[in-house]
Structure 1
Amino acid sequence: MEILIKASQFILSLSLLIVLHELGHFIPAKLFKTKVEKFYLFFDYKFSLVKKKVGETVYGIGWIPLGGYVKIAGMIDESMDKEQMKGEPQPWEFRSKPAWQRLIIMLGGVFVNFVLGIFIYIMLMYSYGEKYLPNENVTDGVWVTDSLAIQVGLQNGDKIVSVDGEKLRRFSDITVAFINGNRFTIDRDGQTIEKDLPVDFISKLIDRGKDAGAIVSPRYPFIIGKIPDESPNKDSGLLAKDLIVKVNGQEVKYYDEVQSLLLGYKGQNIQLSVKRDGGVEEIPVSITEEGKLGVYAADLKMSDLGKMGYYDLADISYSFSEAIPAGFRKSYETLSNYVKQLKKIFNPSTGAYKGLGGFISIGSIFPSEWSAQSFWNITAFLSIMLGFMNLLPIPALDGGHVVFTLWEMITGKKPGDKFLEYAQVAGFILLIALLLFANGNDIFRLFN
């Protein structure tokens, strides 16, 4: 059922983005009186699932869910219709239109992707606002929860100030900032320290596995969640929801402090001070040979920590006029982060190519339960991502056509149809290779 919910959201989001992207080509083509022969969601090699001709255009749904297309008369595109190109150019064909009109038609899909992404982010800001932990409010530093964080030189209590000189607004941005960055600055006991991130940081991050989580966490208190029957402290007097405030008389505030102190009392009986019902109880406990209490800590959400006064959380509501710049800012952050990650992918030494994913990876980012906020947030991200990807100067993508059209506008020389045909084939082969590699990565990770 979980897979079905994820897949349904993925298909819905993808279909919406494809239809609107192609509509971005379709509308200016019609405005410039260019004949559009087909408008398809997904590809229809050999046959279609659904099709209907309205006017001069056949609208349909193909059976290969790798995208979609509009077939514009007189244009070398995914259809590779060579026969049409052999005839004399007709007034309604794409190749007969002025270069500036062809440029607008080709940029229409990308324009829609970016506008859609910005619009969704604006509406999300207006509808839900922003709720997050500001990085500057983590005044007692981070809890190092991962060996990779130790490898890059982080310690419990470090305050991460900036990455590549840019201050972090949200605490949750740390992992992404490390992925995109090269150097970070920390405050350790009042001393400012700068450290370099290893070139293969992304590779090491990927090797941890998809469920490893963030490399650092906010520090949180040690609250008893559950005491199993096999625990040496089953009958000690400890209760669920007890908050540990002292270990053998030494005051503690955070889980990692308790954890560290217990290691010094392996196999011993000690006294814990716990906060319970507004008072403090003294509980004698036994520490295992591994330096543990033998209990499960409570699962605390960030909202719980906010209510308990450990962190001052941001909860920002926006009027519609305020949501507009907030939505633009979010769109810029999304695009900027994506471009930085793409640069890392094309640098083999980073190992970022191992994280390249296909349909399984994209589908997996959708939640296992329906959430309108999550769905539209992911759709906005995908819209901006697809917009940028289509701008890449690769033949067979919109960006490739744009480059050839700009060349014509600058030089006054139009590339020959044969050249465009060969370029389209080369670009298509490159895209198929990337598609196979990305989805191959997905399958490899699935079985490993």
Structure 2
Amino acid sequence: MLPTTEFALLRRVATEQAGGRAPSLVAAVIRDASILWSGARGFVDDATPDEFTLYRIGSITKSLVAVVVMRLRDEGRLDLNDPLDKHVPGTTFGDATVGQLLSHAGGVGSESPGTWWERSPGGDWSDLSAELSGEDLKHRPGRRFHYSNLGYGALGELVARLRGRSWLDAVRAEVLDPLAMSRTTAQPNGPHARGLAVHPFADVVLPEPAYDAGAMAPAGQLWSCVRDLANWTAFVGGRTGEVLHPDTVAEMREAAVIDDSGPWTAGYGLGLQLVRVGGKRLAGHTGSMPGFLACTLIDPATQTGAVALTNTTSGVGILSLAADLISLADEHEPPLPQQWRPARIDKALLELTGLWHWGPAPYHLRILPNGWLDLAPAGGPGRASRFRPLDHDRWLGLDGYYAGETLTVHRDTAGTPHHLDLATFVFTRTPYDPSAPVPGGVDEAGWRA
């Protein structure tokens, strides 16, 4: 990036490291799946950390587990509306659905029973499930957002049972290896930062423990580095390779629940955190474990993302840092729009384009570069959606009011598009065309003064 941009980014990192008294802090800006800039402050073993230095990433682990769950869904092995009991029977929160657990809406307690799992060695699933009690369900499933590490412990066990191998082996084979995240591991292997707590009233540090969390490991066990997390950040932005269909990742980025503890600026999708900052809608996840804070965020609209990792228990505003790096990059060097060029499309689609009317309201139907359709009001606010083809003359709504609804093209005897049926709404070439099956019929006297 330009020297002025790089200095602004480094200054933001340096200010956070000094102000938060972080032993080390490393960060990067990603755009279009490439690292545009990376920088670090502080020291790891008397050396400046780099893109390959490992840090514990905490709850970013949850997002990786969620990808395997969504792969199982796409394969037909489970449904997001399945109760947990169908796949992992015997818990005290078995009525919570898979989708609710993914979005922290299952009402499950935030932590596992017993001692605080983040600072304690963990047993296997049988050990954990034996400790569960009626106290583990805090809210009616679906009632509200309630962040649950315990729920993701259960999702890790679900993955293990349906895949016939550990959750970690499934994540490694289905997510880490395809995304070339070779340094992301359950235990550090190679240069890594040590987790530290910084004394609140003196410039001294205390090493934090780093145990294997056992059955709770799917909630926050993994270690990673900036280089690997750059690939992951691009994945969240939609560059999904063969791991998931882009539509599935877009579904994961949809707000399933919102955090209504204050003005709505944060929500949660299916394994992904969502934040609204400065007009941007960012997706990713934060992570914290004793001695570590981590964050990865991306703006899918600009494909600009950021990663930030530090080895301190508290004191660093890791999410605001990542969001600020994205904003600085886009403000100093906004991405250029793709160059326009004529598209290769099915010419038969051209007869669908142009002016349509929902009652008296005019709409425009356009062909998008990928062969999808865009239906939007001709002017002013209204219901707008994109559609992708299902089969001949049938299209599936992708977003907006008509997400998941079917648009069907009806033709006259000559084969010319006559009207559109969209979730029982009929769109016609002229307002309230009497020759179309307008719901309720059209006054026989027609339009009048």
TM-score (norm 1): 0.25
Q: Whose helix fraction is larger, Structure 1's or Structure 2's?
A: 1
Whichever of the two has the greater Rg, that structure is: 1
TM-score (norm 2): 0.25
